[in-house]
Amino acid sequence: MRFSALRLAVLVLVLGLLLAFGGCGGSDETPPRDVATTPETAPIRIGTKNFTEQRILGELYRQALEAKGYAVELQSDVGSSEIIHRVLRRGELDMYPEYIGVLLSEVAQKTERPRSDAAAYEAAKAFERRHGFALLDPTPFADSNALAVKPKFARRHGLSTIADLRKLERTVKIAALPEFATRFEGLDGLKKVYRLRNLDVVEVGDSERYSMLDAGEVDVASVFTSEGQLAGDEYVVLDDPRRLFASGHVAPVVNEKVLEAHGPGLREAINAVSRELTTSAMREMNGAVDLSNREPAAVAAEFLRARGLLSR
């Protein structure tokens, strides 16, 4: 009996140690940083999505904040809205620039089209507030999703609106980023809002959409309306009378606790950049990167310097 009792005691001790060490194990998910107890000098972690305009926006906010004395960490190419917003919620980022319409349809899962850009902004702002994030001032420029075709193709088939794609009695190939295939502001919405059934999405990288359209490998390209390629007359953007593609104004999403930790100066520094971003300015910067092969950091610095936002 005494031997059995000893064995039992040893077994209990071993199990206790295993449980104790197991409880100290790591997790695949990084715990959110407790910004409430973080000094004001803690780096502000900015993320961007994985295409040209976002890379430029990330550099604009990074450089402007650093000029004001803030420490900043920039993580480019985090991923689509669905991905980067999850990273933000996990506490691995403090802010990122988001398109209001995409935020509503793909993150908030609101497929009812807002009455106006102002209504879209208020709805997105309320959604973020419920989750502990602030939606700062929107930009003057709007970069909405859109569908573009070559002018000759539009004339041949009588295309002026998205609905006109029904005229094609064959499968219509659309070059688009991978997320387009599953988004409401993408293939799902084209089927539900425009009743289009003859579409096939060809998933490509950001730089391939226009080249495939130019080569005739696809019929349509999913584009962003502030891209430099659309400044001339090489492409026709199809009208969207049913407002499938909602407000494309950009508004930075920022952790409320980060704003509190750094005070009102941070909010103003971010808004100061946003209010300078007009459609012509953004299209020119996009073109400088995509068409002239300049680096986003250099393009952003030139823009900020011209507007006095790099002086300390």
Q: What is the pLDDT of residues 136-195, one digit of tens each?
A: 999 999 999 999 999 999 999 999 999 999 999 899 999 999 999 999 999 999 999 999
Asked whether 42 and 254 are in contact (CB, 8 A), the reply is no
CATH number at residue 232: 3.40.190.120
State the Cα torsion 209-213-216-219 to the nearest 10°. 100
* Residue 260 neighbours by CB distance under 10 Å: 13
pLDDT value at 290 more than 60: yes
Asked whether 43 and 280 are in contact (CB, 8 A), the reply is no
* Residue 66 neighbours by CB distance under 10 Å: 15
Q: Which pair of tokens denotes residue 74?
A: 């920039």
CATH number at residue 86: 3.40.190.10
pLDDT (average), residues 120-130: 96
- Which of 150-168 are b and which e, b meaning 16 or more Cβ less than 10 Å from the residue's Cβ? beebbeeeebeebbbbeeb
Residue range 59-105, pLDDT digits in tens: 999 999 999 999 999 999 999 999 999 999 999 999 999 999 999 99
Asked whether 79 and 51 are in contact (CB, 8 A), the reply is no
Which single residue is written with the structure tokens 């972690």? 45
Length of the chain: 312
Q: Which pLDDT belongs to residue 33?
A: 52
Residues 100 and 149 in one domain: no
Residue 298 forms part of a structural domain: yes
Alpha-carbon gap, residue 257 to 54, rounded angstroms: 24
Residues 131 and 167 in one domain: no
Domains held by the chain: number: 2
pLDDT (average), residues 248-271: 97
Residue 80 structural domain = 37-141+249-306
Alpha-carbon gap, residue 278 to 139, rounded angstroms: 7
Residues 41 and 135 in one domain: yes
Residues 179 and 213 in one domain: yes
Asked whether 288 and 297 are in contact (CB, 8 A), the reply is no
Tell me what percent of the residues of the chain surpass a pLDDT of 70: 87
Which of residues 212, 237, 262 is at a domain's end? 237
Residues 194 and 259 in one domain: no
Q: How far apart are the first and last CA of the chain?
A: 80
Residues 173 and 42 in one domain: no
Residues 50 and 185 in one domain: no
Q: Which pLDDT belongs to residue 89?
A: 97
Residue range 28-65, pLDDT digits in tens: 344 445 544 454 678 999 999 999 999 999 999 999 99
